[in-house]
Every structure is written in C-alpha cells, then in structure tokens.
Amino acid sequence: MNPLYAELRWLPRVPSDFSARLKALAGSPTPLGGELQALALHALDLNQLTRLSKAIARARGEGKSLDPLAPFRLAVLSNSTMDMIVPALEASGARHGIALETILPPYDQVAQEALIPNSMVNRSKPDAVLFAFDYRSLPLKLTLGDEEAAAAVVDGAIGYLEALRNGIKAGCNAVCIFQTFAPPAEPLFGSLDRALPGTVRSLIDRINLRLAEFVLGSGDVLLDVAGLAETVGLAEWHNPQLWNMAKFSFSDELIPLYADHVARSVAALRGKSRKVLVLDLDNTVWGGVIGDDGLDGIQIAQGDARGEAHLAVQRLALDLRQRGIVIAVSSKNTDEVAREPFEKHPEMLLKLHHIAVFQANWNDKATNIKAIAEELSLGLNSLVFLDDNPVERGLVRQLLPQVAVPELPEEPAFYARTLAAAGYFEAVTFANEDLKRAGFYQDNSKRLTLQKQVGGVDAYLASLDMTITFQPFDATGRARVVQLINKSNQYNLTTRRYTDPEVVEAENDPSVFTLQVRLADIFGDNGMISVVICRPGDTETWEVDTWLMSCRVLGRKVEHMVLRELTEHARGAGIKKILGTYKPTDRNKLVIDHYAKLGFSKIQEDDSGLTRWELLTEAEGPEAAPMKVVSLFVPTAEGSLVQEQRTADLAALRAY
C-alpha cells in the first residue's frame, strides 16, 4: 500500500499521549469540539478512529457540547458492511470540523429505506444520505459485444439510482451523496474489456460517466470512489477475502482514507473547505535559499530534477488559483530579496501578480499567517500553509491550530502530490464566481507591516527541546565552517570570506577566538548553524571579525545564546570590551539591528551605512533562551596554554 494514502501521511503522526488525552476528555471542560478536532487531526488508524468515535458518542450521550464542530446528520445506505466504517466517518468528521451523527439502517435495506416515506432513514430527517454502494449492488448482466443490451444495463442501473434519489427527495429532501463505482481488478478478456460493450469494466465506465452527469445536474454530491480506488490501485482497494468473510466492499486498510474523503465532502457541503494557500518560498517554491544562493543559485529550472519538483508545486498553486484558491506567501526573507525570483527569474511560473498577500520579513510565521488572514478578511480556518521546514510547521500548528499544515516528505518531488492528497480545497460545486475570487483578493494586495507577536513563541521554543553546542574550530568542522563563511549572505554581519588555509590559521592562532555552533531539536540535528571569529583589538578588547548564522534557525534565540557564550569566554580571557561591526551589503539587511538587539551601544556610523558597536563584558548579557547548552571548550586558561604550547613547538620546529 502506498503510505501517503493508506496512512494519511499529510497528517502528523499520532502523539504518544493520544490514549491519555482521550481519557482526559471525560473530565475536560466543555465544549469539547476543539480538543476532539485536535485529536482527529492526526494520522489515526482504524482502531484509533473507532476509539475517538466512542469518545464522541460518550460526550454526546452525556449531553456535552461539541461546539465549535458543526452538527451534521448523515444517513448511510449500503449493500456492504458499514458498521466498521461508520465510527471512522464520525471521527473523520471531527477532523474536518463536523460533529457527524450517522444513521445506519439494517444491512441491505437500501430500496426500502429510500423508497418508503416513513422508513428509518426518511423519518430521521438527515442532512444528507450517503449511497455507499459498490459494483456488487448493481445488476451488471454481461452483454458482451451487444451495444444495445449494454446500453439497457446502464440505463437500468442509472434508473435504479435515480429512483432511490427521488425516494429520498420525497421522503426527507436530504442531499444525496452518490459514489462512483470502483471496477473489480479481475479482467475477463484483458485489455479488450475497456473497449468491448457489455463487459463489467465497460459497463462500469459508462455508469460512472452517466452518474457524474446526473449528479452534477441535480445539485447533489458525487464522491469519486472509483477515482480513489484508481489512485491507490484496484488490487489494493478490493480485498476478496474480506468481502467473503464480512462483506467489506474495500480493504480495511483504506477505511481511514475513505472516511476522510466522505468527511471532506460533508465539510465542503457545510462551506468548510479551505480558500487560501500560503506558500513558504525557500526550498518550497524553489530549491535552495534565495538570500544565500542568489538568483543564479536557486533551483527552479526545467531539466533540473530538483527544480522540476518545485516547479510542480508552483504549477499546482497556479492551477488552484485558476479554480479560485487565493495564493499568499509567507517567507523569512528580506522583502526585496524574496521578490527577486518572481520579478527576474525566467523559469518561475508564479509571478507577483498571482500572489494576493506577500509577506516576506523576519517575523515568526504564525504572526505573518495571522496577518495574511486579517488582510484577506478570512478566518484562519480558511488557510493552508505549505512549508518544507518541520519547525515552522510545528510552530504554526501549535500557535494557530485552525490553519491546516500538511506534513511533507523529505523528497520535494512528492510535495505537490502530498498537498493534493490532503484535499484541503475539496469542492462539491464549481461556479463562475470561483473563477474571479482569486483576482478579487488581488486588488487588496499590499505588504503588511506588523510587529506584534503571536503569544506563546517562547513556550513553543521550549517544546522544541533544543540543545546548542559550542566549540572552537577544529579539523572535523572545518569544511562546514568554510562553507558557511563563503555561502552565508543574510545573517552575516561583515560578509568576510575566508579560504580553508585562512580558517586553519585562525584555528591555530591562540590569540583568535573561534566558535562553531550546532543546534539539535526534536526534529533532528540541524548541524552547524553559526560561526563566530573574534580577533584581538586594542588592550583587553576583542573585535568581532565574523558573526554569521544559518537562517534556518532564525527566531530561536540562537544569537542570544552565542553572545552569552562569547561574553563568558571573553571574560575568561580578561577581555573588557567586545567591538562589533555591521557592514551592509545588498543581502544582509536582516542583521542591521543585530547588535542593537543584543544590547551593544552604537559608537560609530558612516555614510556607507557601516556601523560600529561595543559591549562591555561586565554588562549583564541577554536572557538565556530555553535550550540546553553544551560547551566543548577546554577550560580557558588551560586551553590557551595548550595552544601556546603547540605554537611554541611549531616555532621550535621551524627554527630547527
């Protein structure tokens, strides 16, 4: 089975406290809808869905409020066993903001339930009736090669479905949800089955087409089960053993997927489909980091495998826009830098005029996404946020749980498929107004300036369980140090480039203080993310020669911790004053206030925008951020002794 579909891979994995949270529901303050939805927003398997549905049923039984879930009554008519699927439907409903209540009449009572006015289904006044039929419910008489007889079989099947629909309309006037039919995996002739009238495959093809036409024309809803089965594969969809044993019309492993699709359609009926796609840029819309790699360095070209993966994301975004989905951008970048590929890169499919709100700044993404929703006057529950970075996804999920944030696989080639598979933009109708919607929001497009922070970032940072590791330059880290020094553009105070031998020289010079910084968190090891070099200045002074950081860890207070470490070593070496320089380039506007934010005082500014800063080491440094600190320095005094010894040895060697 393809895990993307069978395991709902766009949803986060089930948390280890799932059972505990389920149990805690009994004593939780009402309404329970928020927590139920939060629990449902994981990749639940059939047993977990069943347990969640029991919790929903218990809450309902005790008369507890399920707000803000929207109530919806769904009757299910089927020729197969639905008892195991119904709980999955109810739990999946919660995932999509629906408090789904199902009415399931006894097995195989389809015609009676639909056609008799006071049947259980008709009396229950459902909002919708799901006709969960599979091909075995139809009298598919083989009429091999007989065009006329085949047409009669198709007419008969459609007539039967129409009659059921009319019965429901007369009995309770509910919306009818019809399913297309997944053909069996077993051929009769082989390939000829598709072409020859009257084979099962040919009959089902025609019935599906006719069904689609009749449903679309009637204002009812079509659930494309045939499409779903094609997507996962007919041989995976149908499980003859389960049909024989228990009359399951498809594999148990695909119940979560099927249930999610039913819930999507119901949510779409209730107007709960998403309307906006918010895109991260670096490594999502293009490969690479525009601020560091530059216009020529990002991967977005046709013919480049990595580039094509990101082009597929752009193409999907454009197609979505064409059907009325609004596209927005949230990127941690300097605005001009982020706009450059849209304006100048010839291979970009997305252009600035496609983007309704363009938020490129250095705020946290939760703040920016909130601003996008406000700018568009849409609720957060209208937004989908696509980002390759699990930390950003986690932050937005935690602070803005109403925003849909798909998990993404490692391989960018599967980004577009994953986003599409999640079905955030499910629609049951398509009107001309939809075509205009994206343009409507366009007119409002303007860049937002905002400084206010969404609360709770610190709490989120703490939950990341970060460990920061400091050590001086060494042979192991050298290649990465050189790479960072020569590649970092944005978070780089002086943009001084050094070659490998120059770095070795700094490494071996006892008067030079070097620092390589690594950061690990619950998502894994980010590797080396910051580099600092200090050289001796005037008496008891260090001059910060180089200070750079990877933008991937921006907003995590790494620079605060680096300064604390730096100050401590400075004090240890008897340094009283640290001097810093900001040397502006066209890429590093991000750090213009770096030293000011860290408590340095400005002592000089020249016409080029270059600024000089100082910090007295006796001053209290910035507050510690929530992370574990590992310092792999040999104690300062001893360390410098060792280094001096080595230098002395070298000198002796040369003299010899």
Q: Report the residue number, 45 or 340, with the smaller CB distance to other proteins.
A: 45
**Which of 11, 79, 6, 65 has the alpha carbon at shortest distance from 35?**
65
**Considering the complex, what minimum distance in angstroms separates the CB of residue 246 from other proteins?**
5
**Comparison of 86 and 357: residue with beta carbon closer to other proteins:** 86
Backbone CA torsion sign across 314, 315, 320, 326:
positive
What's the distance, CA 380 to chain centroid?
A: 15
Helix (H) or strand (E) holding 358: strand 355-361
Provide the minimum distance between the beta carbon of 550 and other proteins in the complex, in angstroms, as a whole number. Answer: 40
Give min distance, CB of 119 to other proteins, in A. 23
Diameter of the chain measured on Cα atoms: 109
CB 643 within 8 A of CB 510: yes
Closer by beta carbon to other proteins, 253 or else 280:
253
The answer to whether 217 and 175 are in contact (CB under 8 A) is no
Summarize as ranges the residues that interact with other proteins (CB under 8 A).
46-48, 50-51, 54, 81, 83-84, 241-242, 244-246, 252-253
Q: Strand 70-78 to strand 128-132: parallel, antiparallel, or no bridges (unpaired)?
A: parallel
Residue closer to other proteins (CB basis): 48 or 471: 48
Tell me how far, at minimum, the Cβ of 616 lies from other proteins, in Å: 60
Q: Are 634 and 470 in contact (CB under 8 A)?
A: no
Show the CA angle centred on residue 290, arms to residues 410 and 626, nearest 5°.
65
Q: Which is nearer to other proteins, 83 or 319 (CB)?
A: 83
Give which of 154, 150, 243, 142 is closest to 187, Cα–Cα: 142
Nearer residue to other proteins within complex by CB, 252 or 543: 252
Shortest distance (Å) from residue 48 CB to other proteins: 8
Alpha carbon distances (Å) from 237 to 207, 241, 317? 19, 12, 29
Q: In angstroms, how far is CA 178 from the centroid of its own chain?
A: 31
Q: How many CB atoms lie under 10 A from the CB of residue 480?
A: 15
CB closer to other proteins out of 127 and 252:
252
Residue 550 has phi, psi (to 5 degrees) of: -75, 135
| Closest distance of CB 85 from other proteins, Å | 10
Nearer to other proteins, 42 or 417 (CB): 42
Q: How far apart are CA 511 and CA 540, in angstroms?
A: 12
Closest contact distance (angstroms) between CB of 45 and other proteins is: 8
**Tokens encoding 250:** 């498809």
Closest CB to other proteins among 235 and 295?
Answer: 235
Retrieve residue 121's tokens. Answer: 């289904």
What's the CA gap between 80 and 250, in Å, rounded? 9
- Calculate the dihedral angle through the C-alpha atoms of 484, 490, 491, 494, rounding to the nearest 10 degrees: 80
Which one, 81 or 469, has the nearer CB to other proteins?
A: 81
**Burial track 347-358 (b if 16+ CB lie within 10 A, e otherwise):** bbebeeebbbbb
Q: How far is the CB of 266 from other proteins (least distance, A)?
A: 23
